Amino acid sequence: MAKKKNKFAYVCSDCGAEHSQWQGQCISCEEWNTLSRISIGPTDPAVSNFQGFTGAEKETQWLAEVGREPSPRLRSGFSEFDRVLGGGFVPGSVVLMGGEPGAGKSTLLLQVVSEIAKKHGVLYVTGEESLSQLAMRAERLKLNVDQVRVAADTQAESVAALIAEHNPAIVILDSIQVMQMGTVEATAGSVTQVRETAAFFTRIAKQSGIVIVLVGHVTKEGNLAGPKVLEHMIDCFVMLDSPSESRYRTLRGQKNRFGAVNELGVFAMTQQGMKEVSNPSAIFLQRGEIHSPGSIVTVTWEGTRPLLVEIQALVDAIGGGGYSKRTALGLDHQRLAMHLAVLNRHCGITLSDQDVFANVVGGVKITETAADLSVLLAIISSYRNKALPQNLIVFGELGLTGEVRAVANGQQRIMEARKHGFKKAIIPFANGPKEPIKGMEVHGIKSLASALQSAGLL
């Protein structure tokens, strides 16, 4: 019997378009020298032996007849991690964790599998470290890893064979950039290899009910390395951020099919590994004893909970006759420029001859619009050299016509501020409470000018 030959296709590493034969330029994106050959022939025998991964045809079902009994989630042992995941790992899901080198991805995942291994089977596959290095890290963190099964491998087919043999509940692949398939003629870490190996393990997770966690690298710009399709095919994407010179780490959900997006978990890096921070507002409100201008506290909404953060601003005269600078850290730079234009147009305060710097303390990144009003009040506080009350909380969205718009979850934000000892709040009029809040003086305002008057800055 003649041996069946493999078939090949040529895939663009930039856009993913397939071609029947190699050519210098991709027809789809018109980039040059981006085609790589991949095999679409018979599956490797080691892969074919994987239970439920034979590619056999399946019959269709009526959606109403599909079982809807939710499978119990796997708890990570960290409530902050489970919060970001939406309650824990969902069986059959693929989770992608990204982060800069040294952020603590491997450390956190090793701690997670050591907890899960107490009740379920786990498999930790490392392609970047040796097993002895992994063992030394576990010893340094004083983890009980007696039930943690490990392997050092970068071949996707052999990892699939290990999964079929041991049938763990969760598999960690550290990292997806070093994994490669023998049927794909491309180097490890290339767009083609990352895409094909991620799709390969995604099929395994869906058909077996195993949780697979992929560790991903990031580019120098801080974005996830690899093709954009990688974020589309997985179920949950979380990013572990590590602000410079800070021992705190923030785990933010960028995508989650089973929970809230933009959920935030906070950890502290210690000698014993990651320690979760149960009250993040407390660490971000460590204000100095000196009552200085340009400092204000706002309440941002992260996923399903409010978070109190301090915003600082500095306004200084331009030196040397140069151009004015506009710098925003943790905030949208374009919104800062827009707010300064609103300030000039509707309040008559011009800062064109001033350098303006705004920063969110603690390395937190605010993506919502509720911080608009607090940013401007901090800027005017610095410009007037007049400190705002330390028991003041401010939030609200600013419109181009100078109006202050309502934000979501206004009542919960006020109650969170009250819980931390704040006595006065400047908020949008539409977010004002229907009944007075004991111990809280609430000023509901409709415009930026009235906000400045309430704060004593106009």
pLDDT in tens, the chain (458 residues): 444 455 677 877 666 677 888 888 888 778 888 787 776 555 454 444 555 454 445 678 898 888 777 778 999 999 999 999 999 999 999 999 999 888 999 999 999 999 999 999 999 999 999 999 999 999 999 999 999 999 999 999 999 999 999 999 999 999 899 999 988 877 888 888 888 999 999 999 999 999 999 999 887 777 787 777 888 899 999 999 887 667 889 899 999 999 888 888 999 999 889 999 888 887 777 666 667 899 999 999 988 889 999 999 999 998 766 788 999 999 999 999 999 999 999 999 999 999 999 999 887 889 899 999 999 999 999 999 999 999 999 999 999 999 999 999 999 999 999 999 999 999 999 999 888 888 899 999 999 999 999 999 97
Instruction: Tell me what pLDDT residue 48 has.
Output: 47
- In this structure, which amino acid lies at residue 396? G
Token pair in block for residue 375 = 């940013």
CB 331 within 8 A of CB 291: no
Q: What are the sequence ranges of the domains in the chain? A: 8-39, 45-49+72-278, 283-454
CB 347 within 8 A of CB 452: yes
Instruction: Tell me what pLDDT residue 374 has.
Output: 96
- Indicate the DSSP class of residue 330: S
Mapping DSSP onto H, E and C, the string for 188-200 reads CCCHHHHHHHHHH
The residue whose two tokens read 């491309």 is 186
Burial of 83 (0-12, 13-18, 19+ CB in 10 A): buried
* Residue of 93, 114, 402 lying closest to 256 (CA atoms): 93
Angle at 255 between CA 250 and CA 259, to 5 degrees: 90
The whole-angstrom separation of Cα 361 and Cα 255 is 25
Residue 170 host element (H or E): strand 170-174
CB 57 within 8 A of CB 44: no
Longest dimension (CA), the chain: 90
> DSSP 3-state assignment of 392?
strand
Angle at 409 between CA 404 and CA 414, to 5 degrees: 80
- In this structure, which amino acid lies at residue 120? H
The whole-angstrom separation of Cα 170 and Cα 113 is 8
The whole-angstrom separation of Cα 74 and Cα 37 is 39
* Residue of 181, 179, 261 lying closest to 226 (CA atoms): 179
- Indicate the DSSP class of residue 251: E
Instruction: Tell me what pLDDT residue 145 has.
Output: 92
N-term to C-term CA, the chain: 90
The whole-angstrom separation of Cα 286 and Cα 302 is 19
Instruction: Tell me what pLDDT residue 288 has.
Output: 61
Q: Which CATH architecture has domain 45-49+72-278?
A: 3-Layer(aba) Sandwich (3.40)
- Indicate the DSSP class of residue 6: P
Q: Which residues contact 67 (CB under 8 A, 6 or more apart)?
A: none
Q: Note the pTM of the prediction, 2 decimals.
A: 0.77
CB 293 within 8 A of CB 386: yes
Q: Which residues contact 46 (CB under 8 A, 6 or more apart)?
A: 157, 158, 160, 161
- In this structure, which amino acid lies at residue 432? G
**Number of H helices and number of E strands within the chain?**
12, 22
Whether omega for the bond prior to residue 454 falls within 30 degrees of 0, making it cis, is no
Angle at 186 between CA 182 and CA 192, to 5 degrees: 100
Burial of 286 (0-12, 13-18, 19+ CB in 10 A): exposed
Domain 283-454 - what CATH class? alpha beta
Angle between helices 131-140 and 105-116 (to 10 degrees): 80
Token pair in block for residue 328 = 């925003």
Instruction: Tell me what pLDDT residue 66 has.
Output: 82
Token pair in block for residue 99 = 């982060």
- What is the bridge-based pairing of β-strands 94-99 and 397-398? unpaired
* Residue of 223, 218, 172, 227 lying closest to 194 (CA atoms): 227
How far is C-alpha 430 from the geometric centre of its chain's CA atoms? 31
Kindly report the backbone phi and psi dihedral angles of residue 440, in degrees, each rounded to the nearest multiple of 5, phi listed first: -130, 120
- In this structure, which amino acid lies at residue 256? N
The whole-angstrom separation of Cα 134 and Cα 279 is 31
